[in-house]
Amino acid sequence: MDSIISLTGLSKSFGRRKALNNIDLVIGKGEFVAIFGPNGAGKTTLLKIMSTIIEPTKGNVLINGIDSKKDPSKIRGMIGAISHETYLYDELTARENLEFFAHMYDIDKDHIDDRIDDILKNVNLFQRADERAGSFSRGMKQRLSIARALLHQPSILLMDEPYTGLDQHAAANFERVLMGTGNSDVTRIMITHNIERAFELCDRMLIMDRGELRFDKLKTDIESVEEFKEQYLSIVEKDTDAEGISNF
């Protein structure tokens, strides 16, 4: 399998706090990877470095062969990011929000309207397209931000707790959209505390703790979700300061 993301000797410090410590990680094209770990483990920091929002203190990031230090804007064009921050403009309608991002991503003008209609239908917001995003519920905003992230058909999807704010129906719909992206070799990386759902969807499971990658296995090499949960607890329980254990 060709690699699409390659991280070498990656460390990140915020002042004296070490958020990431010497991470090496290679992700293959088309893989669907889940990242778990307690609060403060460094998961979001890792994703932000991959998406070039922040720079590492040490180490190298290659995305599709491009060095993130040399051409971060080219990398941004390949990435769709979903997080608990929706990055939407409240005063614009759903459609206007997507039009704004479509121009930013340089989507072919002749196809913008069709693409926006399709993606709004996909996230069940087509009927609400002309209402202001500011008037949407949290879950609707999250659905619009999923549409924004997928609009330019990115080859890499980085998702930081994408289920935030979604009700059961919207979560199921999100998963349908997410699995639909798999046809086109999209590489997907998802931070979540939802072990059951991730175990169902993903190909590879990572556990981070205190800035280090502590577990990395293909799902086919893990016997069951119960075995994975035991592994998770045996890694994070040793860490008496683990804040995320209550999320488990």
Query: For binding to ligand ATP (CB under 6 A), which residues are involved?
Result: 14, 17, 19, 37, 39-45, 244
- Strand ranges of the sheet holding 156-160, from the earlier edge strand across to the other edge: 79-82, 156-160, 187-191, 32-36, 204-209, 212-218
CB of 4 to ligand ATP, least distance (A): 22
Tell me if 213 sits within 8 A of 206, measured CB to CB.
yes
Question: SS3 of 53, please?
Answer: coil
The nearer residue to ligand ATP, 16 or 109, going by C-beta atoms, is 16
Percent helix, strand and coil across the chain, each to the nearest 5: 40, 25, 30
Q: How far is the CB of 40 from ligand ATP (least distance, A)?
A: 4
Q: At its nearest, how many Å lie between ligand ATP and the CB of residue 142?
A: 16
Tell me whether residue 82 or residue 147 sits nearer to ligand ATP (CB atom). 82
**Nearest distance from residue 59's CB to ligand ATP, in Å?**
15
Q: C-alpha 105: how far from its chain's center? A: 18
Closer by beta carbon to ligand ATP, 17 or else 70: 17
| Minimum CB distance to ligand ATP smaller for 44 or for 93 | 44
Supply φ then ψ for residue 142, to 5 degrees. Answer: -65, -40
